[in-house]
Amino acid sequence: MKCDILIIGSGIAGLSYAVKVAEKRKDLNIVLLTKEKITSSNTELAQGGIAAVTNLVTDSFEKHIEDTMDAGGGLSDLKVVKHVVESAPKRLKELIEYGVEFCEDTTGNLELGLEGGHQVKRIVHAKDQTGSKVEEVLSEKIKTYKNITIHTHFCAIDLIYDHESIVGTKVLDLKNKLVKVFLSKITVLATGGSGQVFKYTTNPTVATGDGVAMANRVGAKISNMHYFQFHPTAFMESEMNPLFLISEAVRGFGAFIINEKAERFIFKSDSRGELATRDIVSKAIIEELKGSNQSEVFLDCRHLDSNIFKKQFPFISEYCESKGYNLKERLLPIIPAAHYQCGGIEADENGRTSINNLFAIGECANTGLHGKNRLASNSLLEALVFAHDAAIETLKIIDSINLNFSETTQVIILVKEKEAIYRNYKLKIQEIMSNKCSFGSEKKQVILANSALILLKHEFLKNYEPRKLSVNSIEIINLFDVALLISNAIAKNLG
């Protein structure tokens, strides 16, 4: 199968890029693949919103830039930060024009929420379901372009590298149980994050770091994988995967984090208390748990106006109530959970990776925006900005690319699921990563984790039959590769 552009992933990055290229060049043959249904993505779960300067009386680009640099521990690339922050109002306006309905205040202006690390209210949101509203609009919009072909339940396996360029991708068609080869002039990885490498995560099961693993296997530059963001307020239900997120906006609204003695202990670490950045709040919780031998701390919403709370956070309120937690009366058990991959495939200001004709956008990319810690609600924004810039760059270069590669074989394969075995390997990877490569891990532990992962991968590959592929076996290999990238990066940076 040949196409001009192959997009892998249907979150905000892949969908908005698709719209941009399809709109400008109706003659291009664009294919978008996704592992499950279109909406299975991190984007679908995003609650809080999109950070953008929209009120020039209370806010400014300078303040948003300052907050992003501060959250990133000074390691963000200032040029990239400025570009993203200054592009935000334009990209947001486009989403509104596409039909995304954000909340408005009584005067008809965008209603702005507050989240940790932001000096002022600047989070544009659609109640507490911003991501799913964006997915809904974008996934409908791409269906209106005749030059985009969408394949759901197609899992990309590996990139095809030829003469220093990416020329296509090997893909598992899950419905027809076939491996297919898609040849493309441009390949765009928009595969999202890798939270599933850890035991407790807010990321859906599709977030297995496939894009990073595939890019790594063809030698693309990968960086900052040791900067994994843990969200401090995931609702602790021990058998749940993913854990349900309690948006940072809930703390912005006034919720407290307390220990079993009802102390607001975060203030011991930072004068901003619950509104310090995520890395600080998560670290404070982990230290509190270690010191007290407890397995969870609590989110206290009992003092908040429950009518306004329910109006502002209907989705969160409903979920908690369905689990027996009326937040006006009960404390909610919470723990930090793996939430966002700050590093990834190195991508320049136009989304180009270190390999010709391969782009990376969204959470799978490391653009330099986040440094060591992402500022809340900057990631949907980053995906929008880089999808736009990558689309412009694609259109500049696409006509100069010749596709001479001609492998179009389709291999019939036996898909034989070995559910129990795969589940076991996944759990082992998650145990190793959570116990030894998480917050505050010591170098000795990380090195042990690294060796354990190498041995386990070796054992897995001994029994692995490439002709008996399944999405689970593909994901396990990717989880191993991502876990090794993370543990290696942590070990290196612990000195």
Ligand X SMILES: Cc1cc2nc3c(=O)[nH]c(=O)nc-3n(C[C@H](O)[C@H](O)[C@H](O)COP(=O)(O)OP(=O)(O)OC[C@H]3O[C@@H](n4cnc5c(N)ncnc54)[C@H](O)[C@@H]3O)c2cc1C
- Where do contacts with ligand X occur on this chain (CB under 6 A)? 8-14, 33-36, 40-43, 45-50, 130-131, 155-156, 190-193, 202-203, 206-207, 210, 245, 340, 362-363, 377-380, 383
Distance CA 91, CA 381 (A): 8
Distance CA 479, CA 463 (A): 17
Tabulate helix, strand, coil % of the chain (nearest 5): 40, 20, 40
Of the candidates 284, 282, 299, 277, the one whose C-alpha atom is nearest the C-alpha of residue 376 is 277
Tokens coding 202? 């807010």
Distance CA 377, CA 135 (A): 16
CB-wise, 13 or 355, nearer to ligand X? Answer: 13
Quote the least distance from Cβ 348 to ligand X, whole Å.
17
The residue with tokens 């990319």 is 365
CB-wise, 245 or 275, nearer to ligand X? Answer: 245
In the sheet that holds 297-300, the strands lie side by side as 244-245, 228-235, 332-341, 297-300, 256-258
Tokens coding 92? 């947001």
CB-wise, 82 or 151, nearer to ligand X? Answer: 151
In the chain, the amino acid numbered 164 is E
CB-wise, 286 or 384, nearer to ligand X? Answer: 384
Tokens coding 150? 């969408």
CB-wise, 14 or 336, nearer to ligand X? Answer: 14
Distance CA 351, CA 345 (A): 10
Q: Give the phi and the psi of residue 307 in degrees, each rounded to 5.
A: -70, -45
State the pairing for strand pair 244-245/344-346.
Answer: unpaired
Quote the least distance from Cβ 447 to ligand X, whole Å.
29
Catalytic residue ranges = 278
Quote the least distance from Cβ 96 to ligand X, whole Å.
16
Quote the least distance from Cβ 400 to ligand X, whole Å.
27
CB-wise, 207 or 299, nearer to ligand X? Answer: 207
CB-wise, 193 or 371, nearer to ligand X? Answer: 193
- Measured between alpha carbons, how far is residue 82 from residues 76, 79, 284, 381 in Å? 10, 5, 30, 13
Quote the least distance from Cβ 120 to ligand X, whole Å.
17
Quote the least distance from Cβ 9 to ligand X, whole Å.
3
Distance CA 223, CA 423 (A): 28
Quote the least distance from Cβ 495 to ligand X, whole Å.
29
CB-wise, 130 or 259, nearer to ligand X? Answer: 130
Please give the helix or strand (H or E) that residue 346 lies within, else none. strand 344-346
State the pairing for strand pair 165-173/178-189.
Answer: antiparallel
Quote the least distance from Cβ 159 to ligand X, whole Å.
11
CB-wise, 46 or 167, nearer to ligand X? Answer: 46
Quote the least distance from Cβ 213 to ligand X, whole Å.
9
